[in-house]
């Protein structure tokens, strides 16, 4: 097991005291440690938002890009270095709003990355706008009459569109979250974990207590390979909210597995000389 302190960074963390992101950061460090990964073997990728500050707070390789655009560079990093453990950490707005199109096509490509969505059902960075997962009729500073459109269901969306690993966890249960992260990272293919993460500053409805009164862990009697049952669980929201691996199919070839040119050594390890490019450059003369 890797010393978990290897993933610490001596930087000031700008999240609000009590933010659910702290638990997610600690769970991620623990998961990487227990998987015996070293910091240089991991790249954490993000877009924009409070959750997207993650690469700054953990000692691994990191990439912080544009709003909603975490998945394209994650795909690129995995393509040039198939041995790298690529993990996307981003919020519900970044992943399900601005990045919705990338989410769909990343599922379709089955890129071998773990996608951890910090879902606090609000835009925390912009101080409380409704996000795609904000409940209907939820009143915010920007929607004082309440949200008038139906919420996005990321679990049902991911299962219906062919994701191989779909899970939900809760930042108030670090042990459960850590184990779920480990399973997602180890899955060969696209793995999404929707993490219920209370925003203590701008979401006064979906609090830690609100979730603790409702979440329950799926037990050993639940079969995550049953897609029909998984879709039923995906729609379960209200007085009871299931957490755990909602759907998991048998692993299939990932995006990089399907590209024969990547079957040998990772692209970054291959030797190339500038003179090799001359034959292509001649086409433009």
Q: Dump the DSSP string for 57-117.
A: HSSSEEEE-STT-SHHHHHHHHHH-TTSEEEEEEEHIIIIIITHHHHHHHHHHT-S-EEEE
Q: What percent of the chain has pLDDT over 90?
A: 87
Q: Judging by beta carbons within 10 Å of its beta carbon (0-12, 13-18, 19+), is residue 36 exposed, middle or buried? A: exposed
CA distance 173 to 181: 12
Residue 249: per-residue pLDDT: 96
The domain in which residue 145 lies consists of: 4-284
Residue 275: per-residue pLDDT: 77
Output 141 or 77, whichever has higher pLDDT.
77
What would the mean pLDDT of 204-209 be, rounded to a whole number?
A: 94
Q: Which residues contact 259 (CB under 8 A, 6 or more apart)?
A: 79
What would the mean pLDDT of 267-281 be, rounded to a whole number?
A: 81
Cβ density class 234-260: b for 16+ within 10 Å, e for less: beeeeeebbbbbbbbbeeeebbbbeee
Residue 276: per-residue pLDDT: 77
Q: How many domains does the chain have?
A: 1
CATH number, domain containing residue 153:
3.40.50.970
Tell me the per-residue pLDDT of 131-166, one tens digit each, with 9 for 90 and over.
999 999 999 888 899 999 999 999 999 999 999 999
**Which segments of the chain does DSSP mark as H helices, in order?**
20-34, 54-57, 71-80, 92, 100-109, 154-160, 174-186, 208-212, 227-234, 278-281
Residue 274: per-residue pLDDT: 75
């Amino acid at each position: 097991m890797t010393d978990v302190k290897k993933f610490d960074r001596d930087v000031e963390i700008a999240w609000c005291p009590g933010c659910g992101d702290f638990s997610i950061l600690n769970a991620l460090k623990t998961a990487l440690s227990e998987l015996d990964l070293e910091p240089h073997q991991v790249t954490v990728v993000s877009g924009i938002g409070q959750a997207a500050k993650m690469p700054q707070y953990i000692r691994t390789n990191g990439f912080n890009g544009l709003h909603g655009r975490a998945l394209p560079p994650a795909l690129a990093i995995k393509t040039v270095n198939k041995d790298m453990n690529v993990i996307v950490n981003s919020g519900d707005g970044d992943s399900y709003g601005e990045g919705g199109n990338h989410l769909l096509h990343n599922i379709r490509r089955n890129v071998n990355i773990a996608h951890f969505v910090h879902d606090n059902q609000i835009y925390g960075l912009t101080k409380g706008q409704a996000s795609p997962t904000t409940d209907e009729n939820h009143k915010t500073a920007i929607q004082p009459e309440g949200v008038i459109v139906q919420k996005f269901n990321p679990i049902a969306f991911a299962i219906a569109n062919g994701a191989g690993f779909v899970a939900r966890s809760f930042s108030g249960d670090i042990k459960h979250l850590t184990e779920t992260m480990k399973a997602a990272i180890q899955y060969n293919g696209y793995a999404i974990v929707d993490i219920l993460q209370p925003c203590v500053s701008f979401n006064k409805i979906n609090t830690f207590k609100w979730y603790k009164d409702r979440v329950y862990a799926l037990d050993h009697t639940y079969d995550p390979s049953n897609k029909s049952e998984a879709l039923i669980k995906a729609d379960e929201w209200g007085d009871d909210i299931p957490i755990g691996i909602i759907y998991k199919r048998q692993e299939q070839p990932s995006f990089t597995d399907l590209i024969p040119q990547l079957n040998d050594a990772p692209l970054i390890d291959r030797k190339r000389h500038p003179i090799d490019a001359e034959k292509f450059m001649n086409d433009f003369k």
